[in-house]
Amino acid sequence: MNYLKDGLKNYINIFKNTSKRGRLGILSSTLLMAGGFFTNHFVKAFYKVIYHLIMLYYFIEIGFSFIIGTESFRTLNMRLYSLILLGVWIYFYVKNLKETLDLAKEDHYQKPDWLNHLIETWMNKKKAFHDYKALFKASSAKERFDLISPFLWMGLFQFRHKAFLKGILIFAIQVFFIIYLMMFGIYDIIDFIALDTSYLPPEFVRPSTFNLVYGLLAFLIIIVFFFVYIRNIQRVTIHVKDKMYQIKPFLLELKELRDHKLYISLLTFPILGILSFTVLPLVFMIVIAFTSYQGAGQHFSWNGFEVFRELLFISDNLYTLISVLEWTLIWAFFATFTNYFGGIFLASLINKKGVKGKKIWRTIFIITMATPQFVSLLIMNQMFAFNGPVNQFLLNQGLIDIGINFWGNQTNARILIIIINMWIGIPYLMLLTSGILMNIPEELYEAAIIEGANKRQLFMKVTMPYMLFITTPLLVTGFIHNINNFNVIFLLTQGKPLGVGLVNAGGTDILITWLYQLTRSYRLYNLSAAIGIIIFIISATISLSIYRRTASYLREGEFA
């Protein structure tokens, strides 16, 4: 109670003594967590406002009803989840308010680096525009023609200055772009906007997926062309401004791409490949989530946020999403940390002084890695089947009277998946951590022993801090990998057994296998794309928020 009184007193004092801008920031943080808009933390403020509004909407609609018990949600303990959400919301609300109060107390609002960079870029562009106007006014009629020419006829300036090969190439780019835009591009963009073109004459009708792909490709081509177009204008302006600056022959530029600009040549094709086979399919998947694409139909239309509404506001779908997400996070946590600490323990045990046959022990564990993972998982699936070798052995030894349904019971299947994943993953982590353990400086241990540290303290104060400093990025990537670990789940259980009350999902399905089942078995492509977006948001949030707070990131290149 005293803490609340002191906090309220501090709030009032700061509010009275700060500037008008600080007061607006405090009020905005109090009402909407939007104080960052007044303290130059615009991006954070934007996300915080969205988060705050979502929490307000949830608790006003159903959250408080779950907490007080007037509503329940089948077998899912929504009261517990609502209380956890409320606690997290209060924590971030208080933290945000405290940050705003501290900044308002100092009354000094430093602009973030990205904003300074944005302002600097804008000022440079503005200055470049004024310089261009001044250059145009001060130029002769011939120079003005040169300045205007790249806007209308790419390559003309190069022709006029006898760089014929370069002029032909640049002009060809413009001609081919105009021809593409007139013959295909404009229609691809129109079809992308319409999406469902079944109303057109038969010779113009295409499946909606084609309209999506060709439309996205048209936008990509337009972006690339405008990059070349603007770049050409900049180069021509430089040539006109500095008359001594000669145009390099095209063959000389090609030679430079082979010599000191070789990195451009080597990176061009990978970048084009990434744009074509990674970025474009990723954007295609994201766009699918906003359509009505389901089943085997070739024609569908834009559907806005309807699929997200169905996923989040229809009780059966929401129950399935929460259940699968809950198991996904539990699985990712245990799959990551059991392997990590198991690998460290095994590596410490083998590297311990006095252990004989270290090479033999390491070889035995390496053999498990030499076997293809899918073979090992399929063998394990059969071994723990109801009529498999494990049950037969236990029955023959009289340890059980009836076979254990390992894969038919949801709890048994989940526990067994985690144990089998340990058998697969620990040897890899053992090899990885062995190299790190052998490189920990002996001086650290010697200094700790002189200070009187025992074996447990040596492990907790020397070994683990060093290991965590080196391997935290590995932990983050391992956690994200396990969120998307399709092989282990699908090859062991195919998502079975059937989940009680789940829609189109099994009891051991994680988000990625649920997405696969929705696509392959049920052809709910838009719902699958929406789940893919959710997976991406979860993975990106966890990766960025955790990694940026680790010592590996903050103190890169050192260990203290």
Quote the number of domains for the chain.
3
**H or E element that contains 89:** helix 78-106
Are 334 and 230 contained in the same domain?
A: no
Are 165 and 99 contained in the same domain?
A: no
Q: Is residue 559 part of a domain?
A: no
One-letter amino acid at 228 equals V
154's tokens = 């790419």
Print burial letters for 167-188: b (CB count within 10 Å at least 16), e (below 16).
beebbebbeebeebbeeebebb
Are 163 and 74 contained in the same domain?
A: no
CATH of the domain at 443: 1.10.3720.10
Q: Is residue 90 part of a domain?
A: yes
DSSP assignment, residue 304? T
Q: What does the alpha-carbon distance between residue 210 and residue 222 come to, in Å, rounded to a whole number?
A: 18
Q: What does the alpha-carbon distance between residue 338 and residue 137 come to, in Å, rounded to a whole number?
A: 71
Are 468 and 526 contained in the same domain?
A: yes
109's tokens = 């609002």
Are 519 and 495 contained in the same domain?
A: yes
The residue among 263, 289, 306 that closes a domain is 306
Helices marked H in 181-275 — which ranges? 186-194, 208-241, 250-258, 262-274
DSSP assignment, residue 306? H
The residue among 80, 110, 140 that closes a domain is 110
Is the CB of residue 20 less than 8 Å from the CB of residue 104?
no
Are 293 and 316 contained in the same domain?
A: no
Question: Residue 243: what pLDDT?
Answer: 64
Question: Residue 186: what pLDDT?
Answer: 92
DSSP assignment, residue 352? S
Q: Is residue 238 part of a domain?
A: yes
494's tokens = 């195919």
Are 379 and 334 contained in the same domain?
A: yes
Is the CB of residue 445 less than 8 Å from the CB of residue 458?
yes
In angstroms, the Cα distances linking 399 to 366, 389, 391, 404 are 32, 14, 10, 11
391's tokens = 């049950």
Q: Is residue 127 part of a domain?
A: no
Q: Is residue 118 part of a domain?
A: no
Q: Residue with structure tokens 């159903």?
A: 62
Are 26 and 87 contained in the same domain?
A: yes
Q: What does the alpha-carbon distance between residue 468 and residue 560 come to, in Å, rounded to a whole number?
A: 12
Residues 6 or more apart in contact with residue 385 via CB below 8 angstroms: 391, 406, 407
Is the CB of residue 9 less than 8 Å from the CB of residue 101?
no
In angstroms, the Cα distances linking 493 to 320, 389, 417 are 18, 17, 9
CA diameter of the chain: 103
One-letter amino acid at 529 equals A
Return the SS3 of 302: strand
Q: Is residue 560 part of a domain?
A: no
Range of the domain at 60: 2-110
Are 349 and 436 contained in the same domain?
A: yes
Q: Count how many Cα atoms sit within 13 Å of the Cα of residue 539 in the half-sphere of its side chain.
A: 17
The residue among 255, 287, 306 that closes a domain is 306
CB atoms within 10 A of CB 328: 23
Q: What does the alpha-carbon distance between residue 505 and residue 311 come to, in Å, rounded to a whole number?
A: 13
Q: pLDDT per residue over 426-482, tens digit each?
A: 888 888 888 777 777 777 777 888 877 787 888 777 778 788 777 777 888 888 888
Pick out the chain residues at pLDDT < 70. 1-4, 73-76, 114, 243-253, 256, 547-560
Q: Is residue 230 part of a domain?
A: yes
Q: Is residue 119 part of a domain?
A: no
Are 65 and 139 contained in the same domain?
A: no
Are 480 and 372 contained in the same domain?
A: yes
Q: pLDDT per residue over 254-313, tens digit each?
A: 776 777 777 777 778 888 888 778 888 888 888 998 988 887 778 888 888 888 888 877
Are 233 and 288 contained in the same domain?
A: yes
